[in-house]
Amino acid sequence: MGKMIEAVNVSYIYQTKYQKTKALSEVSCSFERGKVYAITGKSGSGKSTFLSLLAGLDVPTEGTLTVEGEDTRKMNRDAYRLNRASVIYQAFHLFPLLTVMENVMFPMELQHVPMKEAKTRAREYLEKVGLRETLYKKMPSMISGGEQQRVAIARAIAAGGEILLADEPTGNLDSQNEKVIVELLCKLAHEDNYAVIVVTHNEAVAAAVDVVYGMSDGSLSVVRG
């Protein structure tokens, strides 16, 4: 299978008025569809920075990051996040004033999907992540953490992209919910052909994925591949 995302000598420097901090140092790696990747490492090792580059929220200071051959520097990164890559966060980050259903419909609204179709598709995604229909009209604050993370995953796949990025997706969950979410992410990669990249320092999560990269002081190395 071809490389979906490829990083070649990617470096990233945080620059403030007074100092420069090298968060990533010549990172080279690639990601394919149909696989689940984990990037592990200590806090401050550069995992989240790398994830933000993969999400198109920023561009490398040096080196190139390409998605199916297209340099992220040159692409429309808003459209990339809207249509191809979605991010799931540890704190779920659902819109607090939208219902579960409306949260999942949000990316489709941005894509101008007609309301009726968006509703039907949102239902499908919510069913796919195993959420009961009784929760659809509830506000995020009224459902459990595990359920909120499943809504976040449903919202991520609702955009219809092929890349799922997750930043400590099980960090706020108990072990039972953690297992459900990891299984769900693996299922999305293996059955629906997503490229799933998970940033984690949870060993159980790392053990469940196909490829594990380790990050230390901004440098990336293969731990298990």
Partner 1 sequence: MRVFIRQTARNIVRHPYKSILHVLIGVLTVLILELYAGNLDSTKSQLAHLPEVLTVPATISCLNGSMRECLAIREDRVMGVRESEYVKDPAFTVRLRFGFGEFNVETAKDAVTYLNHYGRGMNMLKGISGVEREGVTFLEGVDESILETSQKVCLMEESLLEERGLQLGDEVKLTLYYYRCAQEGSEVFIEPLITDTYRIVGSLRLGRYQGNWMPPETILPLDCVREAYHSQGIEFFADSGSFVVKDPFQLNALKKQMHDEAKFMSVITRAEFRYNGNALTIMDESFIRSAELLSKNLALLRGMLPFVLAIIVFIGYLCSYLSLQSRREEYALMRSLGTGRGRSFLLLFGETALLAALSGFLGGAVGVFLFGTAARVWAFSGALFFAAFMAGTAAALLLLHRLSVMEILTKKD
User: What residue ranges bind partner 1 (CB under 8 A)?
Assistant: 48-49, 51-52, 55, 57-58, 78-83, 86-87, 89-91, 93, 95-98, 106-107, 109-110, 112, 155, 159, 167-168, 171-172
Task: Output the smallest distance, CB 95 to partner 1, in A.
Answer: 6
Task: Name the residue nearer to partner 1 (CB basis): 69 or 114.
Answer: 114
Cβ distance to partner 1 smaller for residue 35 or 171: 171
Nearer to partner 1, 51 or 129 (CB): 51
Minimum distance from CB of 205 to partner 1 (Å)? 15
- Give dist(CA 53, CA 12) in Å, integer: 9
CB of 225 to partner 1, least distance (A): 25
Minimum CB distance to partner 1 smaller for 35 or for 173: 173
Which residue type, as a one-letter code, is found at position 80?
Y
The number of C-alpha atoms within 13 Å of 99 and in the hemisphere containing its C-beta is: 12
3-state secondary structure of 7: strand
Nearest distance from C-beta of residue 89 to partner 1, angstroms: 5
Provide the CB-side half-sphere exposure for 30 (13 A, CA): 12
Give the residue with the Cβ less far from partner 1, 2 or 96: 96
Residue 149 CA to residue 146 CA, distance in Å, equals: 5
Q: How far is the CB of 167 from partner 1 (least distance, A)?
A: 6
- Min dist CB 75 to partner 1, Å, is 12
H/E stretch holding 186 = helix 175-192
> 3-state DSSP call for residue 153?
helix
Name 162's bridge partners.
none
Nearer to partner 1, 35 or 81 (CB): 81
- Lookup result for tokens 């945080």: 14
Cβ–Cβ under 8 Å, residues 201 and 42: yes
Closest to 132 measured CA to CA, from 159, 100, 155, 104: 100
Query: At 108, is the secondary structure helix, strand, or coil?
Result: helix
